[in-house]
Amino acid sequence: MNQEVELIKKLKNPKFKNEAFKDLLDLYQERLYWHIRKIVITHDNANDVLQETFIRIFNGIHNFKEKSTLHTWMYRIAYNESIRFLEKNKVKTLVPLEQDANQYLKNLTQDSFFNGNELQLKLNEAIATLTDKQKRVFQMKYFDDLSFHDISEILNISENTLKSSYYSAVKIIEEKILAQC
Higher pLDDT: 13 or 116? It is 13
Q: How far, in Å, are 7, 37, 47, 67, 139 from residue 30 at the CA level? A: 18, 10, 10, 24, 16
Higher pLDDT: 6 or 178? It is 6
Nearest residue to 135 via CA among 143, 147, 156:
143
Q: Do 107 and 42 meet the contact criterion of CB atoms below 8 Å apart?
A: yes
- pLDDT for the residue 1: 54
- pLDDT for the residue 114: 45
Q: Boundaries of CATH 1.10.10.10 in the chain?
A: 118-181
pLDDT at 139 > cutoff 60 = yes
* DSSP secondary structure code for residue 98 in this structure: G
Q: Boundaries of CATH 1.10.1740.10 in the chain?
A: 1-94
Q: Do 45 and 81 meet the contact criterion of CB atoms below 8 Å apart?
A: no
Q: How confident is the model at residue 118 (pLDDT cuts 50, 70, 90)?
A: low
Q: Which CATH architecture has domain 1-94?
A: Orthogonal Bundle (1.10)
Span 127-143, average pLDDT: 89
Buried b (16+ CB within 10 A) or exposed e, 28-49: beeebbebbbbbbbbeebbeeb
Higher pLDDT: 95 or 140? It is 140
- pLDDT for the residue 110: 52
- pLDDT for the residue 17: 96
Span 150-160, average pLDDT: 93
Candidates 1.10.640.10, 3.50.50.60, 1.10.10.10, 3.30.465.10; CATH matching 118-181: 1.10.10.10
Span 91-110, average pLDDT: 47
